[in-house]
């Protein structure tokens, strides 16, 4: 079984500061994928970044980077130079090996950027 844990229900961060959102996972699969999604107040799910379990480099997408520590089973999202538009719910998710295509989501972290 797969499990995602996000231990920060809410965070407040000053604009322009960097922020790290925590995510730990558990799986018995050898190959898996890790995702971060953003859900603004409008409700849609916006894909941010993906990390494969065999990727040696940490994934980056613009201001987003994924701090992947495989031995610790953590996949933290780092947002550099936060903006007011970053205020949203953020979900960490994982899918398992080939044949196990389901995404398992964490409970999310509500990020609020303070001007």
Partner 1 sequence: NAGVTQTPKFRILKIGQSMTLQCTQDMNHNYMYWYRQDPGMGLKLIYYSVGAGITDKGEVPNGYNVSRSTTEDFPLRLELAAPSQTSVYFCASSSIRLAGGTETQYFGPGTRLLVL
Beta bridge partners of 68: 75
13 vs 108 by CB, closer to partner 1:
108
Strand ranges (E), 1-115? 3-5, 10-14, 19-21, 24-26, 33-39, 46-52, 60-61, 64-69, 74-79, 88-95, 103-105, 109-114
The site map against partner 1 for 13-52 (x = CB under 8 A) is: --------------------x-x-x-----xxx-x--x-x
| List 25, 32, 68, 91, residue binding partner 1 (CB under 8 A) | 91
101 is an interface residue for partner 1 by CB under 8 A: yes
Residue 17 is given by DSSP the state: S
The 58-87 contact track toward partner 1, x by CB under 8 A, reads ------------------------------
Our CB check for partner 1 shows the closer of 14 and 107 to be 107
Cβ distance to partner 1 smaller for residue 99 or 115: 99
SS3 86: helix
35 forms bridges with which residues in the sheet? 50, 93
């Amino acid at each position: 079984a797969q499990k995602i844990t996000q231990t920060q229900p809410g965070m407040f961060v000053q604009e322009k500061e960097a922020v790290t959102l925590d995510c730990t996972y558990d799986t018995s699969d050898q190959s898996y994928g890790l995702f971060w999604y953003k859900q603004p107040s409008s409700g849609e799910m916006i894909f941010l970044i993906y990390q494969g379990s065999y990727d040696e480099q940490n994934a980056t997408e613009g201001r987003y980077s994924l701090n992947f520590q495989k031995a610790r089973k953590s996949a933290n999202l780092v947002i550099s130079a936060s903006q007011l538009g970053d205020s949203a719910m953020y979900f960490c998710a994982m899918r398992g090996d080939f044949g196990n295509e389901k995404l398992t989501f964490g409970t999310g972290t509500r990020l609020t950027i303070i001007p």
